[in-house]
Amino acid sequence: MHKIKLKALSVNKAFRGRKFKTEEYKGYEYDLNILLPKIKVPKSEKYKVFYVFGLSSKNADGDNCIKQFQDIISKKYGFNDKKIYKWDVEKVDTKKGSEFIKFKIIKWKQKTTK
């Protein structure tokens, strides 16, 4: 693994001014809140998440799906997404109209490495 000594740039620092939710985002948030299953996220100091995004566009970046989805599920399930320490993300090609999202949230016991 390669290591670069540079602080990562957050989305908040990457753009000027306030970000406002679009009508499309508000619709996505509304739909997700209806479709998300009733689950209990275990209380934990650290979490690991698994995301699978079934996308019909070959041009779609899988990482562009994470932030909005993660913000919505953390609000819905009552955990702070700053406590996510491990992500397992997969992009799956699918046909138009068959798009999907799979996810799982578990406690994370981080292994110490140097």
pLDDT by 10s per residue, the chain, length 114 = 757 686 876 776 766 767 788 889 899 999 999 999 999 999 999 999 999 999 999 888 888 899 999 999 999 999 999 999 999 999 999 999 999 999 999 999 987 766
Rounded Cα distance, 75 and 71, in Å? 6
**Number of Cα atoms under 13 Å in the Cβ half of residue 27:** 3
For domain 22-35+44-107, give the CATH number.
3.30.1330.70
List the chain domain ranges.
22-35+44-107
